[in-house]
Amino acid sequence: MKEETRLLIQIPRGTYDVLPDESAVWQKIEETARKVCALFNYKEIRTPLFESTDLFQRGVGDTTDIVQKEMYNFKDRGDRSLTLRPEGTASVVRAFVEHKLYGLPNQPAKVYYIGPMFRYERPQSGRTRQFTQFGIEALGSQDPSIDAEVIALAMTFYQSLGLKKLKLVLNSLGDPESREAHRNALIAHFKPSIGEFCEDCQNRLEKNPLRILDCKKDHNHPLMETAPSIIDYLTDSARDYFSHVKEMLDEMGITYELDPTLVRGLDYYNHTTFEIMGSSKGAITTLTGGGRYNGLVSELGGPETPGVGFALSIERLLLALEVENISLQSEGALDCFISSIGDEAGKKASVILYELRQAGLRADKDYMDRKVKAQFKQADRDHAKFVIVIGDEELEQQKAVLKNMADGTQEQVAFVSLADFIKSKISSGV
């Protein structure tokens, strides 16, 4: 290829690389998520990164920004219309219906997922086009205590990572009857002045007036503030349901603020909706969004089944950790590093290295033909607990010098005993 045609290819806009020095933090976060899910008895589900476009049109709702503006849609070679998943709930519900998980005795089905989602949004701090969600879904129970459990799981997760500046915001969107009454009130409220609103809102008026409250362009219009509040339209049973959720949170000592304007950007919600806000570089941002979605399973072809869940992104969590000055410990330390002098010792080092690893030790050696001093520096960068030194003399005696990097002590250890010796030192905490 000619020199001038070799252009530098850059990462797509709105995406990022997690570099080797950064991945330990991601692993720590993911590991914490898995541990907390195990405590609450949620099991992992893994669904494809792409699904039929219809799934999100029907699931997330075709009047939402996500479906109208943000989906990565494409046709595959078989002319199927597919979409990179913008969120996880619709896929989990599809899998629940497709595999008839509702027929299993183990109900509710409690699942979690960690993986990339894709939305064509304007990239900014805490908003990327590929982002990683950790989410959970509990399908099959309409006990209000499970709404509280879902919220408690999210709070426990953040607390286990040391976050303190969290604010839980709560609302209820009620049952279908409450929603219908509220919908009519919203239409009556906005209709006379709908000409002053953006085109999206004009289209939403009859289709889904609740979406107007979530509009990013018109959020300062005076009619927004005076819009009828869902709380005034809740039926008695929806109100009772919400009281039960609040009571459970009170009992658990989880504090919250009520916000009747919290409508969320996806169509499937009813009853409880919530967001957890955190601070990111001074501004408050939504770290987590979730709620109940009782009609979604039947909308996607399954039997009438209630559901509730949340999702949060690791990108926003990292910003919140930064603001609260929390650095997660990386566990990248090596057990030992082998430093060798000369070709023959280098070969022996490779064999011993293999044996150490077979014995379950985290070990490495120099591959850059460094001088001994530089090899020790590399061992330091890898936070090695021990350094094994092999030179001509050691080869002859079949013994290595073993240096304990914590206290600087040295001793001679036979090659064949190295693995056991180091393991016993590590297990006795030396």
Give the footprint of ligand HAM on residues 133-152 (CB under 6 A). 133, 135, 137
- Which CB, 64 or 375, lies closer to ligand HAM? 64
**Is residue 6 packed enough to be buried (19+ CB in 10 Å), middle (13-18) or exposed (0-12)?**
exposed
Kindly state the smallest distance separating residue 288's Cβ from ligand HAM, in Å: 5
Q: Token match 């959970």: residue?
A: 136
Distance CA 59, CA 402 (A): 61
Of 140, 174, 289, 302, which lies in the binding site for ligand HAM, with binding defined by CB under 6 A? Answer: 289
137 with 89: CB under 8 angstroms? Answer: yes
Place of tokens 């020095």: 21
Q: Which listed residue (140, 290, 295, 302) binds ligand HAM by CB under 6 A?
A: 290
Sole binder of ligand HAM in the list 288, 339, 340, 375 (CB under 6 A)? 288
Binding mask 46-65 for ligand HAM (x = CB under 6 A): --------------------
Dihedral sign computed on CA atoms, order 7, 9, 13, 16 = negative
265 binds ligand HAM (CB under 6 A): yes
Q: Which is nearer to ligand HAM, 270 or 378 (CB)?
A: 270
Please, which residue, 291 or 302, has the CB nearer to ligand HAM?
291
**Count of residues in contact with ligand HAM, rule CB under 6 A:** 27
Judged by CB under 6 A, does residue 108 bind ligand HAM?
no
Binder among 127, 167, 239, 244 for ligand HAM (CB under 6 A): 127
Of 51-59, 174-182, 219-227, 289-297, the segment contacting ligand HAM by CB under 6 A is 289-297
CB of 33 to ligand HAM, least distance (A): 13
Does residue 228 interact with ligand HAM by CB under 6 A?
A: no
Contact 88, 98 (CB under 8 A): no
How far is Cα 285 from Cα 276, in angstroms, rounded to an integer? 9
Residues 6+ apart with CB under 8 A from 378: 337, 366, 368, 370
Nearer to ligand HAM, 83 or 89 (CB): 89
Instruction: Work out which of 57, 64, 128, 171 binds ligand HAM, going by CB under 6 A.
Output: 128
Stretch that binds ligand HAM, among 118-126, 234-242, 326-334, 382-390 (CB under 6 A): 118-126
Query: Where does residue 107 fall: left (phi above 0), alpha (psi -120 to 50 degrees), or beta otherwise?
Result: beta
Q: Which is nearer to ligand HAM, 174 or 228 (CB)?
A: 174
8 Å CB contact between 288 and 312: yes
Distance CA 393, CA 211 (A): 78
Q: In 3-state terms, what secondary structure has residue 169?
A: strand
Contact call for residues 331 and 166 (beta carbons, < 8 A): no
Q: Which of 160, 148, 162 is nearest to 290 (CA)?
A: 148
Residue from 40, 49, 68, 121 that binds ligand HAM (CB under 6 A)?
Answer: 121
Which of 178, 272, 279, 286 lies at the binding interface for ligand HAM (CB under 6 A)?
Answer: 286
Give the containing element (helix H, strand E) for 172.
strand 167-172
Q: Binding to ligand HAM (CB under 6 A): which residues in 294-333?
A: 309-313, 315-316
Distance CA 143, CA 52 (A): 32
Options 87, 175, 214, 394; binder of ligand HAM; rule CB under 6 A: 87
The angle subtended at Cα 215 by Cα 212 and Cα 219, nearest 5°, is: 100
Cβ proximity to ligand HAM: between 108 and 126 the closer is 126
**Order of all β-strands in the sheet with 72-75:** 50-52, 81-84, 72-75
**Can you give the binding site for ligand HAM, defined by CB under 6 A?**
87-89, 119, 121, 126-128, 131, 133, 135, 137, 265-266, 286-291, 309-313, 315-316
